[in-house]
Chain A
Amino acid sequence: MSSSTIQVTDSSDLSGQPTSRLVLQMAWRDIATLFRTPWIIISRALAFIIQLFVFAYLISGLVVKFPGFFPYYAVGSVVSVVASISFIIGYDIFEEAEEGLLDYLLTLPIPRREFIIGRALGGAVRAMIYTIPMFAIVAVLENFSNPISLLAAVLDLFLLAFGVTGLSITVAVSVRSANRFDVVLALLELAVSRASTALYPLAFMPSYVAALAPFSPVTFAADSTRAALSGSSLDILGLAGLLAFVAIFLGLGATFYFRRLEGGVYA
């Protein structure tokens, strides 16, 4: 380290740095952690295969009232996994705040709003990358080959991932106690996934679950994804529900996060 080899960074050098590049770098940080632990993706994909070929085959044989339960369950499982993985960003953010890593991230020259967008984007893309192998398995198994249908289904999944990421961030920055946070997020995950049409149709649900399920974002995504993959007409209601979910929770997550950074704990 000699003075002749390294010069002090001129701050004007950074003024030309596009913010979008920083957003992508911030998102990449979250995505990169996934690639650092590829065994998690592999093990979850294997667990998914076992679930599909053992549990789903077994159950579809037992379900006589609903022929074609296997493809219904297979697609719904993918949707359910997307939701589940998208919740992880909340745990990450909560942990970062507890460990002080958030202090470091906040010293970086990225505007707060872009910082939040980067985190949400990273969380959503990470969930998609994680789920793509499972989605591919289902697509091959069920012979979903229409590229437009596949693209539309991926869009549905991505919208769900983005919205759940926002929901997870909202909870992570709203709840201060670690124990309460774990309980709230686990219950929320259970509620949006289980009280939905991801794994079983509305008609077979107990009335108290059936009353809630139509409003779950996972229901919007599951119905919309199935409609896209089956090549039937666009599920406008599902798509609209997903878009509203994304807008509400991404907006709420960003607002709560921003408030915590600029007006609350980090004010």
Chain B
Amino acid sequence: MIGFDKAGKRFGTLDAVKEFSMTIHDEEILGLLGPNGAGKTTLMLMMGTVYRPTSGKISVNGLDVVQHPNDVRKMIGIAFQDPRVDGILGAFDVLNWHLKMTTNLDKVEREDRVEKVLRAVDLWDARNKRTWLMSGGMRKKVEDCKVLAQRPKIAVFDEPTAFLDVPSRLLMWKMIRELRDEGSTVIVATNMMDEAERLSDRVAIVNLGRLVAIDTPEQLKSKTKGGEVLELTLGDGQECPADLLTQFSEVQDVSQENNKVTVYLSGGRLLLPKIVETLTNRGVKIDSVHLKEVTLEDVFLNYTGHRLE
């Protein structure tokens, strides 16, 4: 179990993470969902003992990360957002050296494990190609493979499928799930909604260095007001009179960002014509309407007040 207890990290005058409290359960995949700069990477690097928290506590399987950094490091493997690999080495050598440093496997076991993981991600034929000559997607696979080959107790992936094509993304998700099924606790930082929703057992929404919400994707969606979302695109410069819409009992909340209006409601199909009529009568020009069920993106918008770009 991993515990963050009012953990904070300050760089100069900037609070990258502030009063962050959260528990990560054993053998779950936790998605850390947030925009770039939300503090996801800082959280992971504090847990991985690279950054020292400036306030609060972080414990990994009962060990404080400041008091027992090396014991904590023995349990963790981190795949970074931007591949951190020696450009002069090939994929095989990168992974082989990583396993030498992080496991007690003998040469045969180590090389066998490297071969299996490289074959699985279709990099075996390019195993000796220097990583600085590889494409972004190939380098990203090598980065992810470090943790997939290490099989640590706690596996951390920062944007694991960035730069990957669709088949490779699906494969990577499958391999991450297998890692969880074998007993690893997995933390995946992402700013991709579908990745967080499809891969995670629970999702923690992080914004401006703070934990905004944490639950299963289904629970997060069900907790969101109304259960349905009506998206209206207004003409340029048009303002939506929110009070007109909240007079309907089915409307839970209304927010506007530029010319996009989001209405959280229930019974949307019946209410939609009334809403359009009400706004049109008020002289509001509506370019388009879209009624849908709540997604994680709506959950994020609902909690933070802005969309995840």
Contact = CB atoms under 8 A, between A and B. Distances in A.
A264 B150 CA distance: 29
B104 interface: yes
B88 A8 contact: no
15 contacts: A1-B116, A1-B120, A1-B178, A6-B182, A9-B103, A9-B153, A25-B101, A26-B101, A29-B86, A32-B89, A100-B80, A100-B82, A103-B50, A106-B50, A266-B51
A33 B88 contact: yes
Nearest to B121: A1
B74 A15 contact: yes
B278 interface: no
Given A6-B182, A25-B97, A100-B80, A11 B51 contact: no
Contact of A107 (B78, B89, B97, B182): B78
B132 to A, nearest CB: 11
Top 5 closest pairs, chain A to chain B, by CB:
A104-B84, A109-B73, A1-B120, A109-B74, A14-B74
B233 interface: no
B178 A3 contact: yes
Given A36-B88, A108-B102, A1 B148 contact: yes
B26 to A, nearest CB: 11
Bin the interface of chain A by size.
35 or more
Interface string A1-41: 11101111111011111000010011001001100110000
Given A9-B103, A103-B84, A3 B74 contact: no
Given A8-B179, A9-B151, A17-B104, A101 B76 contact: no
Nearest to A17: B104
Interface in A60-104: 99-101, 103-104
B45 interface: yes
Contacts of A262: 52
B160 to A, nearest CB: 14
A107 B76 contact: yes
A110 interface: yes
B59 interface: no
B103 A14 contact: yes
A37 B308 CA distance: 45
A267 interface: yes
A69 B51 CA distance: 54
Contact of B153 (A11, A111, A266): A11
Given A1-B175, A11-B75, A6 B116 contact: yes
Nearest to B82: A100
Contact of B102 (A1, A32, A37, A109): A109
B143 to A, nearest CB: 9
Interface of B: 45, 48-52, 54, 70-71, 73-78, 80, 82, 84-86, 88-89, 93, 97, 100-104, 113, 116-117, 120, 148, 150-153, 175, 178-179, 181-184
Contacts of A33: 86, 88
B256 to A, nearest CB: 39
A108 B89 contact: no
A33 B152 CA distance: 27
Given A6-B116, A8-B152, A266 B50 contact: yes
A95 to B, nearest CB: 10
Of the listed residues B150, B151, B184, the one surrounded by the most CB atoms of chain A closer than 10 A to its CB is B151
B48 A107 contact: yes
B182 A8 contact: yes
Nearest to B77: A107
B115 to A, nearest CB: 11
Given A8-B152, A11-B75, A103-B80, A3 B104 contact: no
Given A106-B49, A109-B74, 10 more contacts: A2-B178, A6-B113, A14-B104, A16-B104, A17-B104, A25-B97, A25-B100, A29-B86, A100-B80, A267-B51
